[in-house]
Chain A
């Protein structure tokens, strides 16, 4: 019997706006308008400024550990614009701040989260998103389930879930990819391949030449894009969302990007990566290339830049103030949302702030002390 090929595949790489700010006009057709380019640039700039103030809050002891989004903002804004606010779900990791803001999450919620305050996760009514996911790779299954529910309920809804290159080593990543394709759920798997999972580079993380090829195992449409190119991040997400809406099931996007900052404020990337590598990526910064493009098209000026910088500072300072000035939570808070209705013993623990039993009631047999109160 002659051998035959049973499977062949190739994966496209999409770049529309290169690092010099040069646009491939043909590929850019029907993607984002000039106005939207300016809007996305503003969103990225505000997010970058948000990172700055978050970093300062952490360094000055007013906030806990914080993971900067710096360098990866084009992903959040491109995907955020391609998805419909109030209709589509975002199931994020923790480097998609701008997308969450664009879809209605009050900005100070993210600061509250990292200030150790669960009120930052209390997603407002009408905001379709899950909170930041701290464990790696567990949220993709939730996204798949939410999308599956939308399909069962015949709702016109797409779910996008975000994760890093490291997350694709987790079993739940493969479980989610498998479930999503088997159920043909309208979900977009958006991998921000930022080259590093804390200190482990992509080459050690996986043997695969690309992350995108992992989707081939599930026969899921897949693409690799320049994740620092707002045109590419928008177009890839929009195309995937269109496919999902039309019943085409899930899609995979590998967005090649770079974590310009440390993993978090608790990390020091100088311990494991060369400055030369970082420098090379600095020139691919999405903000720089988008600005170059806008300037080339006459959409931007130094004056507008100065104005934006001032506005961004004002916005994030106000956001920081809101987060810092929130009233302190009360200990009862950590009981109140354990169950829809508190079990009796838990209600007692809440009321007394004790787990010991003596003195809880004056008629307790054998009691020789006065009943204690919390």
Chain B
């Protein structure tokens, strides 16, 4: 079984599905000859041709809008938006058209497409290259939103996304792109959209996170005293959210910290806290804690690690929640 990075896992999965299904086309800025700015699509144009791995004009709305048309016309497009900060121009097409087409036509016209987007901070990138807008799209009915944090999950979730009959936003945490390798089976497998993963089992406190902060949380767990038993949940899918897995865990532990890079207010942490109090009210031993980005503009990279929920801040939040 090959040992792959997140980038390699996504690349080989795209190739796998393009080989299997000739309706799959990739389109975006620099995805062809250059293989994408993160090299996620490297080599795919040479292998599958310019008709299936398409360097488009520099127009995010154009990419999203024409991908919608491709999907309506019978293809399985995978548009890439180069960075999450460039989603703005494509927002209208994504939220007002891709997300609404099925319901406004009562199922007569659908938009099966997977939008790939590098997301999040921690890589010393320029302005508008480090945001975490997943809650915006989870709040947009008609879309599904996933964010794998490991190469294995990246493959399973990508295949599930491409084969999903509805539009799926596939966020790729760029801080994890090359941070480690793991075994990714060659064979075809999917991971169900809407299913979280228990990364480590525990009984004292639940930590819910997704994307790159999974690894900051693991770091925090390493620093905690050995007798503290933490259950770490990698949400993997932002919408539809797997409340069963979260509730089951919090009913057991009675305490929960939600960790995400996005700002606190109206972030997914707020939604998860609310769901926990609905599902686990009589089990709670402490207020649900949110350890997140601040309600500020994501700073330039000199200060990005002060903004992001890094290991010490996560550790503190866990300790305080445990001590309540």
Residues of A participating in the B interface, judged by any CB pair closer than 8 Å: 118-119, 121-125, 130-131, 135, 138, 140-150, 152-153, 171-172, 175-176, 178-179, 182-183, 333-334, 336-340, 343-346, 357, 365-366
Known: A146-B70, A152-B70, A153-B73. 15 other contacts (CB 8 A): A118-B106, A122-B106, A135-B92, A142-B72, A145-B65, A147-B73, A179-B57, A179-B59, A182-B57, A334-B103, A337-B105, A339-B165, A343-B240, A346-B240, A365-B282
CA of A346 to CA of B71, assembled, Å = 25
Closest 4 CB pairs of A and B: A145-B69, A149-B73, A141-B65, A343-B240
* 8 residue pairs bridging A and B, Cβ less than 8 Å apart: A131-B104, A175-B57, A175-B65, A176-B65, A179-B62, A343-B240, A345-B240, A357-B278
Question: Separation in Å of the B62 CB from the closest CB of chain A?
Answer: 3
Q: Is the CB of B243 within 8 A of A345?
A: yes
The one of B71, B104, B106, B281 that contacts A145, using a Cβ cutoff of 8 Å: B71
Question: Separation in Å of the A64 CB from the closest CB of chain B?
Answer: 15
Q: Is the CB of A337 within 8 A of B107?
A: yes
CA of A179 to CA of B60, assembled, Å = 11
The one of B57, B66, B144 that contacts A148, using a Cβ cutoff of 8 Å: B66
Also in contact, A366 and B105, with CB within 8 A (given A145-B67, A146-B73, A340-B165): no
Residues of B participating in the A interface, judged by any CB pair closer than 8 Å: 25, 51, 54, 56-57, 59, 61-62, 64-75, 77, 89, 92-93, 96-97, 102-110, 141-142, 144, 164-166, 194, 239-241, 243, 278-279, 281-282
Chain B residues within an 8 Å CB radius of A365: 281-282
The one of A122, A140, A339 that contacts B105, using a Cβ cutoff of 8 Å: A122
Chain A residues within an 8 Å CB radius of B92: 135, 138, 172
CA of A149 to CA of B70, assembled, Å = 5
Q: Is the CB of B74 within 8 A of A121?
A: no
Q: Is the CB of B69 within 8 A of A141?
A: yes
Chain A residues within an 8 Å CB radius of B97: 138, 142
Q: Is the CB of B103 within 8 A of A172?
A: no
CA of A155 to CA of B216, assembled, Å = 51
The one of B69, B102, B103, B279 that contacts A144, using a Cβ cutoff of 8 Å: B69
Question: Separation in Å of the A305 CB from the closest CB of chain B?
Answer: 38
The one of A130, A152, A179, A337 that contacts B102, using a Cβ cutoff of 8 Å: A337
CA of A130 to CA of B111, assembled, Å = 12
CA of A166 to CA of B315, assembled, Å = 56
Question: Separation in Å of the A37 CB from the closest CB of chain B?
Answer: 33
Q: Is the CB of A145 within 8 A of B66?
A: yes
Q: Is the CB of A145 within 8 A of B68?
A: yes
Q: Is the CB of A337 within 8 A of B96?
A: no
CA of A12 to CA of B29, assembled, Å = 36
Q: Is the CB of B93 within 8 A of A141?
A: yes
Nearest chain-B residue to A152 (Cβ)? B51
Chain A residues within an 8 Å CB radius of B51: 152
